[in-house]
Amino acid sequence: MTKMSGAKALIESLDRQNVEVIFGIVGGATLPVYDVLCKSKIRHIHCRHEQGAAHAADGYARASGKAGVCIATSGPGATNLVTGIANAYLDSSPIIALTGQVCTTSANTSYMIGRDAFQEADIIGITTPITKHNYQLQGAAEIPKTVKTAFYIATTGRPGPVLIDIPKDTQTEVTEIEFSDKIVIRGYKPTFNPHPLQIRKAAELLAKAEKPVILAGGGVITSNASPELLQTAELLMAPVATTFMGKGAFPENHPLSLGSIGMHGNPVANKLLCETDVLLAIGTRFSDRATGNLDSFCSAAKKIHIDIDTAEIGKNIEADIPIVADAKKALNALHKRLAKQLKKKEKSAWIKRVKEAKEQLNPPSKGESKDLKPKALLQQLRKLLPEDAIITTEVGQNQMWAALYFNALKPRTFISSGGLGTMGFGFPAAIGAKVACPDRSVVDIAGDGSFRMTEQELATSVMEDIPVTVIVLNNSVLGMVAQWQRMFFKKRYTAVELGSVPDFVKLAEAYGAQGFHVESIAEFSKAVQKALKSNVTTVIDVPISSEEDVVPMVPPGCGINEQVGEY
């Protein structure tokens, strides 16, 4: 045991968890922590808004596979983290949120928890529904065990955010501190290994399937199970569709790839899922945006559902063979079992049907388009970027165009806000991803509405020397809302027009970044190439029509086999 302050114990505990970076903003209730942090080897990245800090930690986590860490002061600092925490919770992203808090009752009776002290907020109560777990420390001696346990909970099983609320007097308290490697958490025992009987049943069903389809969700990426997914698909000769969160789990240039399913999914993926006789779903929660009408979703198929979270099994879609396990371990066991039962399947009538559907629904483009259309822009961007480049997106039309037209070739290279649909996520997430992978190109595909939400993080990217590229698909409206008003409200446009303010080139330059305005595909290509070589963040303003829709689309209440509009 060593005598030290709570603040020092916190930084030492983070160091023992191999934390290399923290995203945050200092405040009065975290000053003792920052006083120690400035003397440590952990890098602090000064964000310009706490929401940006949470999204940056999220982007860092998704790109690296490690927990991201963010910190904020008490009261408004803590509540500004809430959107980012909720985003991480719904997308199963492991982040550790540290918040300062007013003093406990054992300190100054004028300023203590529960007396509505200056900048006090019940962040434990506020975040209980949107965290995997949260803690409020009662003394400095609790810090090492709490931090170690928090990281374990955040990164194991189904990942998610954990919050640690640290009263100011706990930070300044000096006491004997013990660091231990032991973790005991009553009631928390994730199931990692699949049940052999369920694996056998699944293998038997898949071996007999005539039209198998694999649906890969975000859990495949989380568990680093993409190699196992690929070998299983190739053994079965089964086409692979992904959910939006699973994009990148399977290379989208592979002959067996169908692309993403859902409301704005690839028509081939939506079509063939409705024809399958056996669906192998891995690491997906069957969200409403993926399935459409639940009653018609793969209604004729037997369903095998692999997920580490027991709460997801049978919640939205009933599984014929449920398998509670880590996706990587389950796929590995399933592949071994299948390899004993059958040789690699040759091209079948089902594979011919897959090829036919692709030719019919995704015909090749006739020459290269010179117009500034989202499809042409994103297909050109794919040609310009290396395979391991990381794409983040904002939320709205830009996000769906990216899902449809930009092929993700590797896991952890497509990062977006799925469950919460958070406007403003993409840019700070890009900063976090660049910190995690400094040698790789990072590009945020943005809409002008979303980028406005967190544009202040340009200061972070410039001052902290974190160069990323932002491509603003600028239609001067809140595009997705305008599309719905166009489709379902007889073009009664309300509160969607954004105009031409700000000038994004001037905005970038005001922050010390560089900006380009482009008017053609050729100019776009040159701007991207310059951005990739730049040592400062680049904003590329790309004007597109305000009448441009994201199609195809599954109308609300319809099944994914009822998609409308051309691809």
Q: Each residue of 142-172: pLDDT tens digit?
A: 999 999 999 999 999 999 999 999 999 999 9
Task: Give tens-digit pLDDT for 414-434.
Answer: 999 999 999 999 999 999 999
Radius of gyration of the chain (CA): 24
Q: What percent of the chain has pLDDT over 70?
A: 97
Task: Give tens-digit pLDDT for 379-411.
Answer: 999 999 999 999 999 999 999 999 999 999 999
How many whole angstroms separate alpha carbon 517 and alpha carbon 548? 19
| Active-site residue identified among 427, 480, 504, 563 | 480
Catalytic residue list contains 250: no
Q: What is the arithmetic mean of pLDDT over 9-27?
A: 98
Catalytic residue list contains 118: yes
Strands (E), 37-169: 43-46, 68-72, 95-101, 133-136, 162-167
Find how far residue 241's CA is from the centre of its chain: 18
CA angle 7, 8, 12 (to 5 degrees): 120
| Active-site residue identified among 8, 168, 211, 358 | 168
Instruction: Give the pLDDT of residue 113.
Output: 84
User: Among positive and negative, which fits the CA dihedral 535, 409, 404, 366?
Assistant: positive
Q: What is the arithmetic mean of pLDDT over 200-211?
A: 96
Q: How many C-beta atoms lie closer than 10 Å to residue 562's C-beta?
A: 15
How many whole angstroms separate alpha carbon 515 and alpha carbon 419? 31
Instruction: Give the pLDDT of residue 346.
Output: 66
| Active-site residue identified among 17, 119, 138, 456 | 119
Catalytic residue list contains 480: yes
According to CATH, the topology of domain 2-177 is Rossmann fold (3.40.50)
* CATH architecture of structural domain 374-547: 3-Layer(aba) Sandwich (3.40)
Instruction: Give the pLDDT of residue 224.
Output: 98
Catalytic residue list contains 427: no
How many whole angstroms separate alpha carbon 308 and alpha carbon 311? 9
Over 80: is that where the pLDDT of 76 sits? Answer: yes
| Residues pairing with 553 in the sheet | 564
Instruction: Give the pLDDT of residue 341.
Output: 83
For 336-388, give the DSSP string: HHHHHH-PPPPP-HHHHHHHHHHHHHSPPPSS---S--HHHHHHHHHHHS-TT
| Active-site residue identified among 4, 12, 50, 485 | 50
CATH superfamily of 196-361: TPP-binding domain (3.40.50.1220)
- CATH 3.40.50.1220 domain residues, the chain: 196-361
Instruction: Give the pLDDT of residue 367.
Output: 57
- CATH 3.40.50.970 domain residues, the chain: 2-177, 374-547
Q: What is the arithmetic mean of pLDDT over 249-264?
A: 97
How many whole angstroms separate alpha carbon 389 and alpha carbon 83? 27
Find out whether 491 and 73 touch, Cβ atoms under 8 Å. no
Q: Which two tokens stand for residue 268?
A: 């081939």
**Backbone region of residue 347 per phi and psi (left: phi > 0; alpha: psi in -120 to 50; beta: other values):** beta
User: Among positive and negative, which fits the CA dihedral 469, 247, 425, 146?
Assistant: negative
User: What's 295's DSSP letter?
Assistant: G
Task: Give tens-digit pLDDT for 311-351.
Answer: 999 999 999 999 999 999 999 999 999 998 876 666 689 99
Instruction: Give the pLDDT of residue 139.
Output: 95
Catalytic residue list contains 198: no
